[in-house]
Amino acid sequence: MGAHQRAHNNGRLIYVDSDEVWELTAQGERRRIAGGGTGGDGGPANQADLNTLGDAVYSPQGELFLVERFTGLIKKVDRNGILSTVVGNANGVIPAAGMSPTAARFFSLRHIAFDKDGNLVFADTNLIWRVR
C-alpha cells in the first residue's frame, strides 16, 4: 500500500507509510510518531511494530487513531505517545451491536473518522460501525 497524507487543523501534516507514521510541523520539522520498531500496546508508539497501516485521524481530544488494515485493529496513540488497541481482536468473534469493540474480529478495516459528537466511526468491508 502506498503512502498517504492527512492534514490536521493545527498545522501538522500526518504522513502514513506501510508501517510508520510521520508528523510534519508547520515549521518543517519531521518526527516519527508511530511504528518502525518491535514494541506493542502499552509502550511508546514510536517504537511499535505496526502492520499495513491505512487511514489515520486525530480525535477531537488530540489523540491519533490508526487503522491496521489486514489485522483488523484500530490503534490509538495518546497525547503521551503511548499505543493501545481500541478496536479489534485477532482472536475475537464476529461483531454485533452492543459488544465491546475490543472483543470483535474485523476483517478489512478501511477508513476512520469522528462524528460531530466525537464518536469514532469506521468502515469494515461493507459495514459502518460507531464506537461510543
- d(CA 96, CA 50) in angstroms, rounded, equals 26
Which set of grid coordinates corresponds to residue 1?
Answer: 500500500
Query: Could you list the pLDDT tens digit for every one of the 132 residues in the chain?
Result: 455 656 565 667 888 888 999 988 778 888 899 999 999 999 999 999 999 898 888 898 889 999 998 888 999 999 999 999 999 888 877 777 777 888 888 888 878 899 999 999 888 875 666 676
- d(CA 10, CA 51) in angstroms, rounded, equals 27
What pLDDT score was predicted for residue 126? 59
Backbone phi, then psi, for 47, in 5-degree steps?
-125, 15
What pLDDT score was predicted for residue 28? 83
Grid look-up 478495516 returns: 109
Q: Is the pTM of this model over 0.75?
A: yes
The residues near 61 (Cβ < 8 Å, ≥ 6 apart) are 79, 118
In the chain, the N- to C-terminal Cα span, in Å, equals 30
The residues near 97 (Cβ < 8 Å, ≥ 6 apart) are none
- d(CA 70, CA 68) in angstroms, rounded, equals 6
